[in-house]
Structure 1
Amino acid sequence: MSLLIAITGGSGSGKSTLAQALARALGSDQAVVVLEDWYYVDAAALPDFDPASFDFDHVAARDHALLAAHLSALKAGQAVQAPIYSLIHHGREPGGTPVPAVPVVIVEGIHLLATPAVAELFDLKVFVDTPADIRFIRRLLRDQAERGRTARSVIDQYLKTVRPGHERFTEPGRALADFVVADQTAAVVLEDVQAVDRLAAPVLAHPILKAFRRT
């Protein structure tokens, strides 16, 4: 049996940084990180798909049926082959990403608590609370640097789908979380190791992780 931990919060909240910090603290022999972004629907295969108008911030953009099946398998101690999703082609690539059945599976994503069949699988649910302006700045810089987007396109998408999607699908997850981790660093890039460790500390201190913590 594997322990499943959900790390959720808005886009740019620092979910990935926190998830990776937890995995490092627990050790690669005990923990693995799974990204919800691997489980986008195969959008490119949809009839009349248009990436400019498709709402990637709606929970329907996720293949939560497959995610739930894979998380159930991991929880039962079975390894899975996660899909590989291309953010460039908006579709699944051949092959998959092997995910071993280690003791702790850390899953990060914005919609993890929006679908009951997925949310109920988690043994520990964490919501990362980061100010909206910091989240937006991080997303703006990331999408320009990593995805070749223009500032205008990032802003338009944020106002059209990201912000409404956050309020409709992500923010309600706060009430379902076991506890909230507040990122009060106001750092655009979380490079301070000690600051990241402080974010991870309350999660690592949770009693459910006592058996997995390094001494």
Structure 2
Amino acid sequence: MRKPIIIGVTGGTGSGKTTVTRKIMEEFGDVSLAYIPQDAYYKDQSHLTMDERAKTNYDHPLAFDTELLNQHITALLNGQAIQMPVYDFTQHNRSTETITVEPKEVIIIEGILIFSDKDLRDLMDIKVFVDTDDDIRIIRRIKRDMAERGRSLDSIIDAYTTVVKPMHEQFIEPTKKFADIIIPEGGSNNVAIDLMTTKIRSVLPADLKIEE
């Protein structure tokens, strides 16, 4: 098996990373793709109480098991399947389940801090930063966390002002300098999406290129 193409998609919480990733996957639907969300690699917290887990800073690089993520991406690059963790956001902890991910021609890694680790960053062929206004990002986070993660409005706002925003400024925003492509306003920026897909096509092997 030839070496897979690794694409990293990052940006702040609520920036539109998932929308951008979905558009990539739709654009290259004829190519076999593997999707690796960094959120799946939050550290196991079984040794902590629920109250202690709730106090974890989930926007800090140390919240992630980056060593395991690096091992898994390396295994996929070497043609080996992995058992990707499943994270339960309602319990602030890993589930006992895992998902089998087979090696694919294109691997997309998505997450807020995937550019913060040099070893992981060096595995990527294309690095994309989704850059969206803070006001839009907090509104999206409120809607997502209330609908999908069972969080209250007060807890979301408190977390954003005390942790999420400071961590974004300290750890996420500085990684923009590592990006090959910056997409303002996320998935709604069709011009940037087109430029990004053109760049991805340029690095695909000839027999995987898709006619526009």
TM-score by length of 1: 0.88
- Does the 8 Å CA contact 1:81/1:97 hold for their aligned counterparts? yes
* Matching residue of 1:152: 154
* Matching residue of 2:59: 57
Whole-Å separation in 2 of the counterparts to 1:48 and 1:138? 25
Corresponding position: 1:24 with 2:47: no
Whole-Å separation in 1 of the counterparts to 2:49 and 2:152? 27
Deviations 1:154-185 (A, max 9, x none): 1100011101111111111100111211117x
Corresponding position: 1:204 with 2:197: yes
Show structure 1 runs of 5+ residues with no match: 185-189
Offset at residue 213 of structure 1 (A): 3.8
Offset at residue 29 of structure 1 (A): 4.3
Offset at residue 200 of structure 1 (A): 2.6
Among 91, 103, 107, the residue aligned to 2:109:
107
Q: How does 1:48-197 map to 2 (within 5 A)?
A: 50-183=52-185, 195=188, 197=190
Given residue 15 of structure 1, which amino acid in structure 2 is its aligned partner?
K
Number of corresponding residues = 206
The share of aligned pairs that are identical, in percent, is 36
Whole-Å separation in 2 of the counterparts to 1:83 and 1:63? 10
RMSD: 2.0
Corresponding position: 1:9 with 2:11: yes
Q: How does 1:36-47 map to 2 (within 5 A)?
A: 36-46=38-48
What SS is found at the alignment partner of 1:44? coil
Whole-Å separation in 1 of the counterparts to 2:92 and 2:154? 21
- Does the 8 Å CA contact 1:45/1:91 hold for their aligned counterparts? no
- Does the 8 Å CA contact 2:31/2:106 hold for their aligned counterparts? no
- Does the 8 Å CA contact 1:44/1:90 hold for their aligned counterparts? no
TM-score by length of 2: 0.89
Offset at residue 27 of structure 1 (A): 1.5
Offset at residue 197 of structure 1 (A): 5.0
Cα 1:152–1:47 change in 2 (3 A) is: closer
What SS is found at the alignment partner of 1:149? coil
Offset at residue 126 of structure 1 (A): 0.6
Offset at residue 135 of structure 1 (A): 0.7
Segments of 4+ moved more than 6 angstroms: none
Whole-Å separation in 2 of the counterparts to 1:12 and 1:210? 33
What SS is found at the alignment partner of 1:138? helix
Whole-Å separation in 2 of the counterparts to 1:90 and 1:150? 15
Whole-Å separation in 1 of the counterparts to 2:80 and 2:123? 15
Show structure 2 runs of 5+ residues with no match: none
Given residue 107 of structure 1, which amino acid in structure 2 is its aligned partner?
I
Offset at residue 124 of structure 1 (A): 0.9
